Structure 1
Amino acid sequence: MESPTITLTPLAPGERAGSADFGDSGGVGVGRSAGLEAVFAAVADQLDGALAPGEVPGLSDAEIVSGLIAVESLQRKLAALQLTLAAAADARSRDRVPDLALASVYGCKNAVELLQRTTLVSASTARQRIRVGQTVVPRNGYSLGMLPPQHPHLAAALEDGALGIESAVSIAGMLDRTGKRPGSSPEALDIAERELVTAATEPVLPLHADQTRVQCGVWEQFLDPDGTLPDEEAAFMRRGFRFGKERGGLVPVSGALVPEAAALLARLFDSVNSPRTAINDNSINSTATNNSATNGETGSGSSGHSGSSVRFVPVPESIDTDTDSDAAPTDTARTPDQKRHDALAILLQTAARHPETPLLGGAPVTVLVQVTDTDLAAGSTRNDTGTARSARLHDHNGFLVPVSMSAARHAACAGATQRITQDARGRILGLESPSRVFTPHQRRAITLRDGGCVIPGCNTPASWCEIHHVTEHAQGGPTHTDNGVLLCWYHHRSLDTSGWRVRMSDGVPEIRAPRWLDPEQRWRPHHPPGKLKLAA
């Protein structure tokens, strides 16, 4: 594919800074406008003749790459004109008396609106073009005459078509921010500008826009390492977190985090979602040692032998304790955003039950879920009329919002949620009491047995898991270690719909995978990731 030959007749410098022509009727005269339209119409015609979008699928690999380079080179030339024209439009809208201001003559309140109406870009794009354009055009020094552009290296690279508008925006923004700070050095700014432009326009391996943005940040820190504090204080005042209105079963949230909080949250997300998440063996072993005398308590899961000498012995890493169930599929059912959501839910559940979390109204932080006794006792998700059974949750605004029965059943096990059972008239029939939530001693025992989420392939550690009543309390299931298993928030919340099934066999969890994973539907005993087994 041969590159088209395109000849542009540039505006003379004096014509760019000249005045508009006003006809006798008060309208704006065309001046060179008709000629410019003809020139760019000819350019468009040549482009149409060179390559039409419909012809692209028939190009060779080399022609596609050549086309990308040629079109982007032309786009950079046009970008330079976009910036300088935008700056000129703004100058002629601000530096004239109101009646003769360019924007006013065309019925616009300012240059931003003029650019929006003439180019159909967004207001933010128009402001960006004006802001950057002002720094790369000659400046009016009045008695001193015309002065060079504020950023001469940037201006030269743009005029040559060597620099893209994205990189120009990053460089100009950094220079402008740094230049406004007390003690900034014009010489140092000039060096930074020259180095950044050179790096972004190198003939071999120039920096692309993302790399240029990173380099701008490096230069900004170098030029003014202490000058970010005022900006940081202003940013700190804008921090916040907001709940939106529940719509379609979801509550939108928005806000802005300070960098250290965002980094901590991201690291916590990573710790939950990483496929290499590990159990803290030190905490498990110390728990086993410190609480070896607690397994004679009611509901602890012992066989009733007070003072049992049962001890936990680590299995050598070389011994494979499971040849079947540990070979689990990778979690591909959730998107990265969904995994981050579920990680946040785990963090919130963990924080809510932490002993150092402040009390609310003299009691631990708790979310209330209301459900009727009829719906709770029913095994199906729909009633006789086909209507979906549901519960009501007290949301963040204190209003009642409908939630699924899966959420209601989940509430019975989650320590941060309390379930209230009512009859059809609203009479309170039952309130899940703390005795129906597993005690710390029971949790430690179940942690030592399960090691983490019992669903194969899930690496969520025990400290981040919830304890699930395998046989629900409402169905007569006891709050006993023989009836509790560790599940992460996601697998606990989706247990009714995911296809995974859990049962207990002589106090040991057994798991059955969904049919699409295991057509034979075999029950497999759970083996903890910590490679632990009981020894008499």
Structure 2
Amino acid sequence: MEVLARVGEVISSCADTSVWALSEADLLAALDAVQVVEQRLAAVRLALVREVDGRAVAGGHGASSTVVWLRDRLRVSAGAARHQVDLAAALEAGPVVVRQALGRGVVTVEQAKVITDILGDLPAEVGAEVVDKAAGLLVDYATRFEPKALRQLGRRILGHVAPELADEAEAAALRRAEARAHDRRHVTFSSPHADGQVRLTGRLDAESAAVVRAALDPISGPSGLGDDRSPGQRRADALTDVCRLALHTGVLPDNGGDRPQVVVTVDLDTLRERVGTATLDGGERLTPETVRRVACDAQVLPAVLDGAGQVLDLGRQRRLFTGPLRRALVLRDGGCAFSGCDRPPRWSDGHHIVHWADGGQTCLANAVLLCRYHHRVVHHDGWQVRLAADGLSEFLPPAWLDPTGQPRRNHYHRRC
């Protein structure tokens, strides 16, 4: 305690010193020295944490674990407390060279964590001698490489210290990692937030991630000029498009006796007058503009109610672009018809130029193919769609974008 008190006094004198007057050489030297001192103090702290944990001090103070006790005692997060307890145990159980290197400030706390992780992943059959040799080599690497690079080098450490075991150990480690990733796979949807967003989180093993990425990558690029979506937004749209395509196939298993579908509940006045809101079958609210957009194609079934809540229509098939009508629409447009878009037909929905709720007919003369992104653009951003004299679609931009209102066509799918 006397030593720590003297250290505190010295650090206080340093903290009270103005650094603006230091030369550049002294400034850099002081920064390096502080880094070393900080790591050496961390080594002392971790030794204390290990002893506290070993003595079960937390239980004597009424805490359920050392992590909880440290969180409250040191006023750190539970994650930071867990990190200290785990690293302290790993340093104690591992080769002494790692503890000594941290105590001298040769390696940082981050590097020590990387080294103990790598050593902990070595197969048990390599023996203590190989582990010690690997630890020494990793400590040497730590004097030249930051934690991420050190971890990359550590993946091949057996090839340097025990090449005769490297291939078999690497395969075994890979199998363990694959099994661990497979066990931890999950996808979670949060409850809808007040702002209408739903958080999607999850983990995938490498093979599943490759499958998902292969499905998303071809359709997550910019869809043409004026596509200002971020990469994350494009991937989110691509994931939705893949799911919409799966719904279009008709081969998904039934869900509670029904084919997979999205049901939107809306009263007829809301749909016609575009005032009010609608409800998804999960309780989420939608604007009438969104309802009119999603009501355009076959795999979204609107449930239309009168003012008393009586069902007037549940997915009228006669208004949907299916069968020969969709095939004719695909032959005519070749894909999303919006100017500059290269999305193919399978990623596109049929859109009523005059909405069916406004009396528009479900026919080729009142239809155009639109990808999900441009379907939203047409419904929400003021674009107008019409068929020209030659029977092909044209898009008239809103006045704020082009005051001249020059019609635009898609020249990607056909020469016109």
**Structure 1 counterpart of 2:277:** 390
Map of 2:148 onto structure 1: 210
2:37 to 77, 83, 90: 77
Distance in 2 between residues matched to 1:470 and 1:505, nearest whole Å: 12
- The answer to whether structure 1 residue 120 and structure 2 residue 92 are counterparts is no
Alpha-carbon contact 2:58-2:65 (below 8 Å) kept = yes
Q: Work out which of the residue numbers 125, 137, 162 in structure 2 matches 1:195.
A: 137
TM superposition shift of 1:508? 1.1
Separation in 1, partners of 2:101, 2:120 = 18
3-state SS of 1:154 partner: helix
Name the amino acid aligned to 2:118.
Answer: M
Provide the residue aligned with 1:427 in structure 2: 310
Q: Tell me if 1:412 matches 2:295.
A: yes
Task: Describe the superposition over 1:470-523 as per-residue Cα deviations: whole angstroms up to 9, x where unpaired.
Answer: 111122222223322222223323433234332222321111334444232221
Cα distance between partner residues in 1 of 2:50 and 2:79: 14
- Relative distance call for 1:195 and 1:465 in structure 2 (3 A) is farther
Pair 1:183 & 2:125 matched: yes
- C-alpha separation in 1, matches of 2:400 and 2:153: 49
Inter-CA distance 66–421: structure 2 relative to 1 (3 Å threshold) = farther
Corresponding position of 1:272: 219
1:533 aligns with 2:415: yes
For 2:377 and 2:106, the matched residues in 1 are separated by 54
Match of 2:163 in 1: none
CA distance in 1, matches of 2:365, 2:157: 61
CA distance in 1 between counterparts of 2:381 and 2:205 reads: 37
Distance 1:447 1:72 in 2: 67
| Alignment equivalent of 2:336, drawn from 448, 453, 468 | 453
Alpha-carbon deviation of 1:116?
Answer: 2.8
- What letter is aligned with 1:443? R
Give the Cα separation in 2 of the matches to 1:263 and 1:70: 47
Residue aligning to 2:110: 166
Q: Paired residue for 1:335, among 201, 219, 230? A: 230
The aligned counterpart of 2:5 is: 37
Partners of 1:66 and 1:490 lie apart in 2 by: 57
CA contact (8 A) 1:450 1:485 kept: yes
Choose 343-352 or 215-224, whichever is displaced more. Answer: 215-224
3-state SS of paired residue (1:524): coil
SS across alignment from 2:304: strand
Would you say 1:250 and 2:145 are equivalent positions? no
The equivalent of 2:253 in structure 1 is: 358
Displacement of 1:230: 4.6
- Same amino acid, percent of matched pairs: 29
- Conservation of the 8 A alpha-carbon contact between 1:87 and 1:134: no
Aligned with residue 512 of structure 1, among 382, 396, 399:
396
- Structure 2 Cα separation of the partners of residues 250 and 88 of structure 1: 45
In structure 2, distance between residues paired with 1:413 and 1:66 = 70
Residues of 1 paired with 2:263 and 2:18: CA distance?
68
In the alignment, structure 1 residue 370 sits paired with structure 2 residue 265:
yes
CA-atom RMSD in angstroms: 3.3
| 1:46 alignment partner AA | C
Which of 337, 342, 345 does residue 240 from structure 2 map onto? Answer: 345
Q: How many residues are treated as equivalent by the alignment?
A: 406
Separation of aligned partners in 1, 2:49 and 2:35: 21
Q: Which structure carries more relative contact order (alpha carbon 8 Å, separation 6+)? A: 1
* CA distance in structure 2 between the aligned counterparts of 1:256 and 1:165, rounded to whole angstroms: 27
Residue 39 of structure 1: CA displacement? 2.0
Q: Distance in 2 between matches of 1:266 and 1:73?
A: 46
Q: Which stretches of structure 1, 4 residues or more, deviate above 6 A after TM superposition?
A: 104-107
Q: Which amino acid aligns with 1:498?
A: D
Secondary structure at the aligned position of 2:192 is classed as: coil
Deviations 1:181-202 (A, max 9, x none): 4423434433433333333312
For residues 60 and 258 of structure 2, the distance between their equivalents in structure 1, rounded to whole angstroms, comes to 68
Alpha-carbon distance, 1:173 to partner = 1.2
Task: Tell me the alpha carbon deviations over residues 349-392 of structure 1, each in whole angstroms, 9 at most, x when there is no partner.
Answer: 100011433344665321111222212221xx43xxxxxx1112
Equivalent positions of 1:95-134 (< 5 A) are 95=55, 102-103=57-58, 110-134=65-89
Rounded to whole Å, the distance in 2 between the matches of 1:190 and 1:267 is: 42
Q: Deviations over 1:80-133 (max 9, x none)?
A: 4223422333224424xxxxx655677756543453344322232223223323
Post-superposition shift, 1:348? 0.9
Aligned partners of 1:86 and 1:133 also within 8 Å: yes
Cα 1:483–1:162 shift into 2, 3 Å: farther
Q: Unpaired runs of 5+ in structure 1?
A: 1-32, 96-100, 138-148, 278-325, 383-388
Distance 1:499 1:116 in 2: 54
TM-score (norm 1): 0.67
Larger Rg: 1
The answer (yes or no) to whether the contact 2:185–2:205 under 8 Å persists in 1 is yes
- Cα distance change on mapping 1:168 and 1:402 into 2, 3 Å: same
Partner of 1:503: 386
Amino acid at match of 1:479: T
**Mapped contact 2:53–2:85 kept (Cα < 8 A):** no
Give the distance between the partners of 1:499 and 1:106, measured in 2 at CA.
Answer: 66
2:118·2:151 contact (CA, 8 Å) conserved in 1?
Answer: no
Amino acid at match of 1:124: G
